[in-house]
A and B are shown apart, each in its own frame.
Chain A
Amino acid sequence: DADVTQTPRNRITKTGKRIMLECSQTKGHDRMYWYRQDPGLGLQLIYYSFDVKDINKGEISDGYSVSRQAQAKFSLSLESAIPNQTALYFCATSDSGASIGYTFGSGTRLTVV
């Protein structure tokens, strides 16, 4: 099994629908992140969490919310999806220690029509 698992891998949804992207990890890392990737813009940080009780907004949090259900689970929700949220979404984890390593999931490709 992958260290960081994202579900679903692909999703097409309609404008105005609520959708949740899920991320689970087996790395035992404290810290988890959500990024979105758009062509020509690189990866932009949406939200991050340093532990279950710590949630922080990133560069582009408007229109998104997150839930850290457990150390291993970090979900991203789009309360009312809009077409410009069509993107590739990545979840990532890191250790709070000095190992300085990040593990990325395989991504969720979301299309809002």
Chain B
Amino acid sequence: AQSVTQLGSHVSVSEGALVLLRCNYSSSVPPYLFWYVQYPNQGLQLLLKYTSAATLVKGINGFEAEFKKSETSFHLTKPSAHMRDAAEYFCAVSEEAGTALIFGKGTTLSVSS
């Protein structure tokens, strides 16, 4: 069965520092992978998705993620954190197009000035 593990329930960085949020997946087939962001008291917003094209995926707000099959990972990065990036981030996987997304437990990103 597919599953997602997000390492670190809480990550704190300084403004301007590198953001690295970790996601490892378990899937019996090549997966589709997603990162979503949830700002306080809001719904989910898609940051980026991997759909078996380029392994380095660029998303919105300066975020990107790299699919590494050998490491079963899809870590999210941003070179320079901004205060507005403070939010909760979810990694999700689906094994087939249009099937149910399975989510990780989320990582809360805090950004300090």
Contacts and interface: CB of A to CB of B under 8 A. Distances in A.
B14 interface: no
A90 interface: yes
Interface of A: 30-31, 33, 35, 40-45, 48, 58, 90, 92, 94-102, 104-107
30 contacts: A30-B98, A31-B99, A33-B100, A35-B103, A41-B105, A42-B6, A42-B90, A42-B103, A43-B90, A43-B92, A43-B103, A45-B102, A48-B100, A90-B43, A90-B44, A95-B97, A95-B98, A96-B97, A96-B98, A97-B97, A99-B97, A100-B32, A100-B51, A102-B46, A104-B43, A104-B44, A105-B43, A106-B42, A106-B43, A107-B43
Contact of B49 (A30, A33, A100, A106): A100
Nearest to A35: B103
Contact of A97 (B98, B101, B105): B98
A91 to B, nearest CB: 10
Nearest to B10: A40
A31 B92 CA distance: 17
